A and B are shown apart, each in its own frame.
Chain A
Amino acid sequence: MTGTVVASGRGGEGAGAAEPLVLLSGVSKRYGAVVACDAVDLRIERGDFLALLGPSGGGKTTLLRIIGGFAYPDVGRVVIDGVDVTRMPPEDRPTNMVFQGYSLFPHMTVRQNIQYGLKVKRIPPAEAAARTAEIIALTRLEGLEDRAIGQLSGGQQQRVALARALVLRPKVLLLDEPLSALDLKLRQSMQEELRRIHRLIGGTFVFVTHDQNEALWLANRIAVLANGRIVQQGSGEDVYGAPASRFVSAFIGEANTLAGRRRHSIVELEAGPSFPAAGPDEPVTAMIRPHLLRIAETAGPGEVLLGGRLRDVVFLGPRVRYQIELANGTELAVDAVADRRRQAVVPGAMLSIAVAIEDLLVLARDDPAN
């Protein structure tokens, strides 16, 4: 394995000064006229469970492949554990990938698939057998060792692909849309499995998904990608609660957007109400999550009222969604818990909706990211 060691030793000042496990600096990649990655900087710390989240074509899979060695960046560097691996082929990198579609070898059994990497690395048979047994127990594949791949269900194949990668104890485990092929129930149980395994072995996982629920479920850090750029990184709470742009607010969770104008630190919404919000004079968008709105006759302290006509009521199981059209034409979605206390309302009725001022997120409207 060749590669230049970039930095050795750690700063003794504390966690913030420690070298990240994976560092991408200025990584750019284009395929013909399409820019897949645009000057991406990314730090991945040891023990992270990082989600690369974004719409299709946003560059997240390309980034994952660059970390794994299946694509080389045009510009920029990839450093894993202090070693520059930018141009290193995948067989030499301390990473392993769980591929979309699993890519299990069809002419081998479950055990042979899992042991393939160990065989290539010439791990002695006794140690190989021990590690295989350990990983089979971890991924709950007991009893399936000698099955042919074609005889496995989707969920079982997923676990074999995971076992095959984890048995090699990679420094970074890469997962490409790991749960996208599974039905809802299976996806939920696999999410719990992945969380459990990650906590148990304390490894560093990076996965790609376009499903924001999956990202929130699994990851302790989320990097939102669009058009090859990271538009926001942070914990699930950061990205959901304090989205940096209208795009992020709409991509993670649902968002109502209300147009308005800020003047002298007062925002005046086109829908009517005004409220204080510090910032420059400019056109703004106020973002509010559907579940933070309340159907109410009067506004409580720190709240403003919006008025409109109820267009539709949709029962969604744990919640009820009210689709409301405000006086100025803006559409509003209000989610309420579907319990016995909910009001009986009929489409066509005029309603007023209360919103707490501190729940409103004010974003500049002219920001190109919005």
Chain B
Amino acid sequence: MFGVFFVLPMLYLVVMSFWRLRLYRLEPAFIIKNYALTIADYGESILFTIALAFVVGSLTTLLAYGFAFALRFRSGRWGDAYLFITLVTLFGGYLVKIYAWKTILGNGGILNTGLMTLGLIDEPITWFLFSPVAVVITLIHFLLPFAVLPIYGALRNVDPRHLEAARDLGARPRRVFRDIVLPQTQAGLVAAFTLAFLYSAGDYVTPRLVGGPNIQMVGTFIESQFVQRLNMPQGAAMAITTMAACVLFLLLMVAALRATLRQR
């Protein structure tokens, strides 16, 4: 199953990235020109994409952890209800949410009119929308419920009696969190960050709709290679390069996380 639906298409993509486009026709070959072009023209945008995905991943994971923690340890009887509400928000599709943020962040949107009514600003802030900021906000909002779930799952497995035991041994609440809760939720943390990071790195719809004209997310460029220029080899090369860069970055992040949380 995994082989048929994932490995074979991937292999096809890899093979195609070495082909060339001649007169709008695919021609099997073995050239590295596509990769060379990727690094030369789009290298900067790949780095920008990873940076933005990192910001989204980090903020989403942080917010998701806070929410999941409150859900697990501070909501008492309402815990299940809050969880249910979180799951329900998953049903709103991403396009709906993107357009919602377009409305909220725009010049005439709630955020700007609210700030102006409060007298904090005189003119609407234009960079709320059609900017990297808008992309980050929209992506965080969309990915939050996805990130909450693995973290909540990991927190469920933390026995509250361990927290009591740590306090009995002299640890204050912050210490208890760092020594007992965090290490046991590593897997959930990694899952949440990976999800948010990878989704953001590959997204092209959000940047196209709220990113503005100067947005440098590589997803949009890959899309245009495939759809507008019909240059599939080039698009494939860019996709493979981006994937490799993301995986490398992710491995580094996870290793760093593990090293920080290791018991001394």
Which of B92-100, B116-124, B170-178 binds A? B170-178
Which of B32-40, B125-133, B144-152, B160-168 binds A? B160-168
Instruction: Report A78-120 CB contacts with B as 1/0, cut-off 8 Å.
Output: 0000000000011100011101010111111000100011001
Interface residue? B109 (CB, 8 A): no
Task: For A96, give its contact among B161, B169, B180 (CB under 8 Å).
Answer: B169
The 9 A-B pairs at the shortest CB distance, nearest first, are namely A117-B169, A103-B165, A120-B170, A103-B161, A90-B167, A120-B171, A107-B183, A91-B170, A91-B167
Are A103 and B170 closer than 8 Å at their CB atoms?
no
- Counting chain B CB atoms within 10 Å of each CB, which of A69, A89, A116, A168 scores highest? A116
Cα–Cα, bound, A165→B159 (Å): 19
Task: For B164, give its contact among A90, A95, A165 (CB under 8 Å).
Answer: A90
CB-CB < 8 A to A168: which residues of B?
Answer: 169-170
Known A-B contacts A90-B164, A99-B164, A101-B161; the reply to A164 vs B169 at CB < 8 A is yes
Instruction: Report B171-209 CB contacts with A as 1/0, cut-off 8 Å.
Output: 110010001100110000000000000000000000000
Interface residue? B263 (CB, 8 A): yes
Q: List 7 A-B contacts (CB under 8 A).
A: A91-B167, A95-B168, A97-B168, A99-B165, A103-B162, A103-B165, A107-B263
Are B172 and A103 closer than 8 Å at their CB atoms?
no
Interface residue? A275 (CB, 8 A): no
Are A96 and B168 closer than 8 Å at their CB atoms?
yes
Are A117 and B170 closer than 8 Å at their CB atoms?
yes
Interface residue? A260 (CB, 8 A): no
User: What size tier do the contact residues of chain A reach?
Assistant: 20 to 34
Cα–Cα, bound, A165→B165 (Å): 10
- In chain A, positions 176-226 with a C-beta closer than 8 Å to chain B are none
How many residues of chain B are within 8 Å of chain A by beta carbon?
A: 18
Are B164 and A105 closer than 8 Å at their CB atoms?
no
Are A103 and B175 closer than 8 Å at their CB atoms?
no
A88 to chain B, nearest CB (A): 12
Known: A106-B162, A120-B170, A168-B169. 16 other contacts (CB 8 A): A69-B168, A70-B164, A91-B167, A97-B168, A99-B164, A99-B168, A103-B161, A103-B164, A104-B165, A107-B263, A108-B263, A116-B166, A116-B171, A120-B175, A121-B170, A168-B170
Interface residue? A228 (CB, 8 A): no
CB-CB < 8 A to A54: which residues of B?
Answer: none
Task: For B180, give its contact among A105, A121, A164, A165 (CB under 8 Å).
Answer: A105
Are B169 and A89 closer than 8 Å at their CB atoms?
no
Interface residue? A68 (CB, 8 A): yes
Are A99 and B161 closer than 8 Å at their CB atoms?
yes
CB-CB < 8 A to A108: which residues of B?
Answer: 263
CB-CB < 8 A to A97: which residues of B?
Answer: 165, 168
Are A105 and B165 closer than 8 Å at their CB atoms?
yes
